[in-house]
């Protein structure tokens, strides 16, 4: 790669690129549910879901989500529990909480209408520079510089850019590319080019509509891209989880010892050290804190689960506590839920698995 900073293309080359990419997109774009009805609301939901998540994973979640919450009003009126239940399994749960916060903000500050300026969109919870620009361009057909991972890779290869090219370079080239009349199509076209043709590994250079403009192809280095950021190392987390059953009901709580597990209501749990902690002793101690007395607990199974970069090992303990007096303070942090429908309250897929396995459902 060149050591000198790459130069932004001039108007003639930019127009040529626009025409080639739009022609290619017209016949090669994927059929995606948010493209069939590109309302600001649907584009926003899709862009948030697509953060750090592949398209094929997002599609079924998006379809379920917009069936349940078809517009801003329904999302703003929803409880966090409902939202987290539909988000369960998609990961990066802060995105779902920020969606709800943003919906409430739009309802309160923008009369329930999705904001149509870049500044206001960028002021919503969970929306950064890229997401704001993408929504503004795609949903409102406004010419914006948009740089995601796909677009950055396309720019890198087209310019045979250096691995240490400053971030500003990519935004300046994207700004020079902007299409004033077909901003929405153009932004999606460049994203699609990166996803389908200019792929991270084994790019399909022979099928590329802008091969004639690609400096890397001319130099036979089309396979080279800047090294990706190193992924965060996976982290093991061990929990003891209690399933305390009393006459067909189970104890659930709002005390979230493992804050990275989503949901307002969870099973009682405690983070432990896999090497140093006596699991049974930790489970008995946790049960005593809840019930006010010591009880016998039985270890049923280990539920393995992955949440973002965490590998969770949930050591599930069960006890029948029908003989215990369970204090349920009004408006408190403990609740008794029907065992047969407890997972309607417990939205985390980790705790759902623990509950269902412990009760042999």
Q: What share of the chain is helix, strand, coil (3-state, %, to 5)?
A: 45, 15, 40
247 and 309: one domain?
yes
Of the candidates 47, 165, 192, 245, the residue annotated as catalytic is 47
What is the Cα Rg of the chain in Å? Answer: 25
Residue with token string 């891209």: 225
294 and 197: one domain?
no
Q: What percent of the chain shows pLDDT beyond 70?
A: 91
Q: Are 252 and 282 in contact (CB under 8 A)?
A: no
Residue 140 maps to a domain: yes
Residue 112 maps to a domain: yes
> Does pTM surpass 0.75?
no
Where does a domain end: 163, 184, 218? 218
183 and 328: one domain?
no
Residue range 314-333, pLDDT digits in tens: 999 998 887 777 766 655 67
Q: How confident is the model at residue 23 (pLDDT cuts 50, 70, 90)?
A: very high
CATH code, 142? 1.10.340.30
Residue range 170-205, pLDDT digits in tens: 999 999 999 999 999 999 999 999 999 999 888 999
Tell me what pLDDT residue 301 has: 87
**Token code pair at residue 244:** 């305390």
Q: How confident is the model at residue 222 (pLDDT cuts 50, 70, 90)?
A: very low
Residue 90 maps to a domain: yes
205 and 269: one domain?
no
45 and 91: one domain?
yes
Ranked by mean pLDDT, which of 19-28, 80-89, 219-228 comes out on top? Answer: 19-28
Burial class (CB in 10 A: 0-12, 13-18, 19+), 149: middle
240 and 207: one domain?
no
Where does a domain end: 165, 184, 218? 218
245 and 116: one domain?
no
Active site residue 47: yes
305 and 156: one domain?
no
Residue 4 maps to a domain: no
Q: How confident is the model at residue 2 (pLDDT cuts 50, 70, 90)?
A: very low
Q: What is the spatial distance between Cα 140 and Cα 42, in angstroms, rounded to a whole number?
A: 12
User: Measured in whole angstroms, how far is the alpha carbon of residue 201 from the centre of its chain?
Assistant: 23
Residue with token string 């090992």: 313
Q: What is the dihedral of CA 123, 127, 131, 135, to 10 degrees?
A: -60
Tell me what pLDDT residue 145 has: 94
- HSE (side-chain half, CA atoms, 13 Å) at 294: 3
Q: What is the spatial distance between Cα 26 and Cα 99, in angstroms, rounded to a whole number?
A: 31
How are beta strands 310-320 and 269-272 bridged, if at all?
A: unpaired
28 and 76: one domain?
yes
Domain boundaries, position 191 = 11-218
170 and 257: one domain?
no
What average pLDDT does the segment 123-152 reach? 94
36 and 126: one domain?
yes
Residue 223 maps to a domain: no
Residue range 247-299, pLDDT digits in tens: 888 888 888 777 777 777 888 899 988 888 889 999 999 888 888 888 888 89
Residue 171 maps to a domain: yes
User: Domain tally for the chain?
Assistant: 2
Where does a domain end: 187, 218, 249? 218
34 and 137: one domain?
yes
The conformational region for residue 57 under phi > 0 = left, psi -120 to 50 = alpha, else beta, is: alpha
Residue 1 maps to a domain: no
Residue 204 maps to a domain: yes
Q: Are 228 and 340 in contact (CB under 8 A)?
A: no
């Amino acid at each position: 790669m060149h050591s000198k900073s790459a130069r932004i293309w001039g108007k003639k080359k930019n127009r040529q690129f626009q025409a080639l990419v739009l022609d290619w997109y017209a016949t090669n774009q994927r059929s995606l549910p948010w493209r069939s009805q590109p309302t600001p609301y649907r584009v926003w939901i899709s862009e948030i879901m697509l953060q750090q998540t592949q398209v094929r994973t997002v599609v079924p979640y998006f379809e379920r989500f917009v069936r349940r919450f078809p517009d801003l009003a329904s999302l703003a009126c929803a409880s966090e529990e409902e939202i987290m239940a539909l988000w369960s399994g998609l990961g990066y749960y802060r995105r779902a909480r920020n969606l709800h916060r943003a919906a409430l903000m739009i309802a309160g500050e923008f009369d329930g209408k999705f904001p149509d300026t870049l500044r206001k969109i960028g002021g919503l919870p969970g929306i950064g520079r890229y997401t704001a620009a993408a929504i503004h361009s795609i949903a409102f057909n406004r010419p914006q510089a948009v740089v995601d991972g796909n677009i950055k890779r396309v720019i890198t290869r087209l310019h045979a850019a250096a691995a240490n090219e400053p971030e500003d370079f990519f935004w300046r080239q994207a700004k020079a590319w902007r299409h004033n009349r077909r901003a929405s199509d153009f932004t999606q076209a460049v994203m699609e080019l990166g996803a389908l043709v200019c792929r991270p590994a084994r790019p399909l250079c022979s099928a590329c509509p802008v091969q004639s403009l690609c400096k890397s192809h001319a130099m036979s280095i089309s396979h080279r891209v800047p090294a990706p950021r190193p992924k965060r190392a996976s982290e093991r987390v061990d929990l003891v989880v209690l399933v305390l059953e009393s006459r067909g009901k189970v104890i659930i709580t709002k005390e979230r010892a493992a804050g990275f597990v989503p949901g307002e209501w969870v099973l009682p749990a405690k983070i432990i050290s896999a090497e140093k902690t006596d699991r049974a002793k930790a489970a008995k101690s946790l049960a005593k804190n809840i019930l006010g007395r010591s009880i016998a607990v039985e270890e049923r199974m280990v539920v393995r689960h992955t949440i973002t970069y965490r590998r969770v090992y949930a050591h599930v303990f069960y006890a029948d506590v029908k003989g215990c007096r369970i204090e349920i303070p009004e408006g408190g942090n403990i609740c008794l839920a029907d065992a047969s429908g407890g997972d309607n309250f417990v939205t985390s897929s980790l705790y759902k698995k623990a509950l269902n396995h412990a009760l042999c459902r």
